[in-house]
Amino acid sequence: MLKSARIQVTGKRVQLMATCLCDAFYDDVAIATVQVLEYLGCEVVFPDSQTCCGQPAFNGGDWEASRKVVRHTVRAFEGNDPVIVPSGSCAAMLFHGAQIEFEKEADKESVAALGNRTWELADFIVNGLNIKKWDGNFKSTIAFHRSCHTRGSDSVEASLTLLKSITGLTILEIGEPEQCCGFGGTFSVSFPVISSSMGNLKLDHIRAKNAELVVSPDMSCMMHLGGLASREGKPIKSKHVVQILRDSLINAGLIK
Amino acid sequence: MALQQIDTFASRLRPETQAAVYDGSKKGYEKRTKLLFDDYAQPDELRKLAGKIKQHVVENLDTYLPAAEERLKANGIHVHWASTADTACNQVLDIMRARGATRVVKAKTMVSEEIELEAFLHKNNIECLETDLGEFIVQLDHDKPSHIVKPIIHKNRKEIAELFEKNGLGTYNDEPEVITRRAREFLRKKYLEGDVAITGANFVIAESGRIVLVTNEGNSRFCLAATSCHIAIVGIEKILPRDRDLALFLNLLGRSGTAQELTVYTEFISGSKALTQPDGPQEMHVIFVDNGRTDVLSSDCKEILRCIRCGACLNVCPVYRQASGHSYRSVYPGPVGAVLSPLLLGKNFPQKADLPKASSLCGACNEVCPVDIPIPDLLLRLRARAKDEGLPSPGTPPMGGWAVMASQPAAWKAALVAGKLINFMPTKLLPVPPLRAWENTRDLPQWRGGEFRSWLKKHKS
């Protein structure tokens, strides 16, 4: 259902949507995204006027507010180049969620056009650029968390394809992989009890794996789980998939 | 800070209840998934096909319902139409009165819960006995079912044993076999005293006028064998076009609902008893219940009418597992209930407009649904409806100001940098309720607004 027929990738120029979360908290994830895309020969354009994909208001039910932000995003990302997002959730907002809230809007075509050229990063590398093997090495054992908003898309499979091909990397799947970490955007603050319990169950599964790192294609899950773990006084180490890809290149001296 | 009702309910749930619901759902999900993927190479394709068939039915009810009526009547079955719960209840009563009947033996049917039939019959001096073990226990305890398929998932066997002892069904014994045997002994006599059998229907086939019932305890067969009149109460969306569609739907329903290749009993009923049959009802009625369904049909959430009531979405749902079915204050709980229950209320939608909020939108429900209902999308549509109707939503931060900021790049960039202030002040003191709700159990990461943009500027120069 989330799979939309994406426009084929022809040129090497891409637009980066850093996501508001990386803009505010996780700058290294955005940096790694630039480094990885540049390693692949892409020219990365960062539209400076970008803000947020509009998902918080969409999920909160305030579609009028959300559409305002989506319209701004459509303007910020004008052109025809693929839009690359290091988040399955924000990418799905553009190619799936935004399409729903614009069903009855006069400008739905422009929103559809943006959706059709929006890619989650790993999906773009594997299915857009047709790269199935990742260079470099990363000696570690990681626990992989499937972020829920990648469901129905090709992102998890793409992430795992890349990670599994990295020399030295062992990937463990967390127990009950279908269960959500409890974040859910505004859900985490409007249902704090249920949200926290969900997160704690996920943390139990993660800790049971004794992995060195938790890795996910979405920082929002990591923010939630990391926040819970840190408050407990038992912090977990987490990274985004793209940080592993980047570090793998650095470890092999392929980039600086 | 006001909490959402479902969150508050979850926070007050007894640990035993929470554990029973959690374990029962988790096992249900795991068995379902194993069986489905063991048996089929591509179960997702089956789910999608079933979804298409059911969507076709939902969009063509105006054709299929008259067709079904015609075939049912040709089979000698009386057909009734009930636009409301009240009408449906009165139709049952009228049938009972016309026969001078006073005792009902009843199989499990969610639509009878929905129209609150038992309470209605009780008020009219008609005894209505639940014969499904779970429903029997619910009735004995004056409780309510908390799951579509497993009505007593919230009870552990100790509680049931105590309940039986209190109601004169033997001394305390919490072995499931003993509990079942005692219920069975009690019910056997009751079947023979029953005048009318009430069941639901899992499917009504338009081309043949057949109704299909799936059960595991054989109680519906006893109900039908012992009584002289059968009333099947059915939601109007329960139609399938052809008998052969059952091949797909029965395979999916058993596996999705109870992790069975097929339920123990599958009954195909195409009328009252034949002359050559020694037992069985001489009279059969089907009551088609609307009770808000045509309103759902005209809404932007009509996909929810595909539902075949398997309960798989409840089992997998992390929110349901934490909160239990009763937190939804509805006959239909869990993800499907969060969509269906408020919709069935029609203009009283606001009473349950909080239900669609009780989801992290993780999408697990859609992934397991045997008819591929896009439940998260429907939850979102209902959230938007609640907002449009100006309904309050405790805990959801207002988005207007944020939208203004996020449409003005200069303001956004300034805020990114200014946000760093939160690194230097105790967030507990900040007058921002969502931040407080976050901070109760979680730390915030370091604010690093603007760092990436500065890096990029240097990187590009």
pLDDT value at position B433? 77
Tokens of B194: 């029953």
Partners of B234 in beta bridges: B288
Partners of B230 in beta bridges: B197, B284
Q: What CA–CA distance (Å, rounded) separates A22 from A19?
A: 6
Q: How many CA atoms lie within 13 A of A210 on its CB side?
A: 0
Number of H-type helices and E-type strands within chain A: 13, 8
Partners of A13 in beta bridges: A43
Nearest to B370 by CA among B26, B35, B112, B22: B35
Tokens of B187: 């019910």
Residue A149 to residue B361, Cβ atoms within 8 A: yes
Could you report the per-residue pLDDT of A111-131, keeping only the tens digit for each?
999 999 999 999 999 999 999
> What are the backbone angles phi and psi of residue B199, rounded to the nearest 5°?
-130, 175
Instruction: Supply the DSSP string of B106-168, one letter for each residue.
Output: E---HHHHHTTHHHHHHHTT-EEEE-SHHHHHHHHTT----SSS-TTTT--HHHHHHHHHHTT
pLDDT value at position A195? 97
CB proximity list for B82: less than 8 A, separation 6 or greater: B88, B91, B115, B287, B288, B289, B290, B291
Average pLDDT over residues A187-206: 96
Q: Taking 50 as the threshold, does the pLDDT of residue A165 lie above it? A: yes
pLDDT value at position B229? 97
Residue B452 to residue A30, Cβ atoms within 8 A: yes
Residue B364 to residue A179, Cβ atoms within 8 A: yes
Q: Taking 60 as the threshold, does the pLDDT of residue A155 lie above it? A: yes
Q: Which amino acid is at B59?
A: E
Interface of A with B in 60-99 (CB under 8 A): 60-66, 68-69, 71-72, 76, 97
Instruction: Please report residues of B whose CB lies closer than 8 A to that of A47.
Output: none
> How many of the other CB atoms lie within 10 Å of CB of B303?
22
Q: Which domains does chain B have, with CATH numbers?
A: 43-293 (3.40.50.10420), 400-460 (no CATH)
Helices B245-258 & B15-39 angle (0-180, nearest 10): 140
Q: What CA–CA distance (Å, rounded) separates B130 from B136?
A: 5
Instruction: Please report residues of B whose CB lies closer than 8 A to that of A63.
Output: 384, 387
Residue B442 to residue A228, Cβ atoms within 8 A: yes
Residue among B10, B442, B455 whose CB faces A227 most closely? B442
Could you report the per-residue pLDDT of A208-229, keeping only the tens digit for each?
999 999 999 999 999 999 999 9
> What sign does the CA torsion over A237, A238, A242, A248 have?
positive
Q: Taking 70 as the threshold, does the pLDDT of residue A4 lie above it? A: no
Residue B399 to residue A66, Cβ atoms within 8 A: yes
Partners of B105 in beta bridges: B129, B197
CATH code of the domain made up of A137-251: 3.40.50
Could you report the per-residue pLDDT of B392-407, keeping only the tens digit for each?
888 888 899 999 999 9
- A vs B, Cβ pairs < 8 A, gives 224
Average pLDDT over residues A35-47: 97
**Contact, A247 vs A28, CB < 8 A?**
no
CB proximity list for B323: less than 8 A, separation 6 or greater: A194, B6, B7, B9, B10, B13, B358
The B229-235 sheet, strands edge to edge: B78-82, B283-289, B229-235, B196-199, B103-106, B127-130
CA distances from A231 to B231, B245, B448 (A): 58, 53, 20
Q: How far apart are the first and last CA of chain A?
A: 39
Quote the percentage of chain A above a pLDDT of 70: 98
Alpha helices in B144-237 (DSSP H): 157-166, 176-193, 219-226
B356 DSSP assignment:
G
Ranges of chain B with pLDDT below 50: 1
> What are the backbone angles phi and psi of residue A7, rounded to the nearest 5°?
-65, 135
CB proximity B357 to A under 8 Å? yes
pTM for the model stands at 0.96
Nearest to A230 by CA among B446, B397, B390: B446
Tokens of B433: 């309720």
Could you report the per-residue pLDDT of A47-88, keeping only the tens digit for each?
999 999 999 999 999 999 999 999 999 999 999 999 999 999
Task: Tell me the shortest Cα–Cα distance from A214 to chain B, in angstroms.
Answer: 16
Closest chain B residue to the Cα of A178, Cα to Cα: B364
pLDDT value at position B425? 77
Nearest to B333 by CA among B357, B348, B351, B355: B355
> How many of the other CB atoms lie within 10 Å of CB of B446?
12
CB proximity B117 to A under 8 Å? no
Residue A5: pLDDT band (50, 70, 90) is low
CB proximity list for A216: less than 8 A, separation 6 or greater: A144, A145, A146, A147, A222, A238, A240, A241
**Strands (DSSP E) found in A13-93:** 13-16, 43-45, 83-85
B11 burial (CB, 10 Å; 0-12 / 13-18 / 19+) is: middle
Q: What CA–CA distance (Å, rounded) separates B214 from A236?
A: 48
A97 DSSP assignment:
I
CA B395 distance to own-chain centroid: 26
Give span(s): CATH 3.40.50, chain A: 137-251
Interface of B with A in 365-384 (CB under 8 A): 366-367, 372, 374, 377, 380-381, 383-384
B282's torsion region: left (phi>0), alpha (psi -120 to 50) or beta?
A: alpha
Residue A76 to residue B409, Cβ atoms within 8 A: yes
> How many of the other CB atoms lie within 10 Å of CB of A178?
17
The A13-16 sheet, strands edge to edge: A43-45, A13-16, A83-85, A118-120
Residue among A197, A198, A223 whose CB faces B445 most closely? A223
Q: What CA–CA distance (Å, rounded) separates B346 from B349?
A: 6
pLDDT value at position B435? 83
Partners of B196 in beta bridges: B104, B229
**Contact, B245 vs B37, CB < 8 A?**
no
Q: What CA–CA distance (Å, rounded) separates B375 from B371?
A: 11
Residue A1: pLDDT band (50, 70, 90) is very low
CB proximity list for B140: less than 8 A, separation 6 or greater: B163, B164, B167
Instruction: Please report residues of B whose CB lies closer than 8 A to that of A196.
Output: 441-442
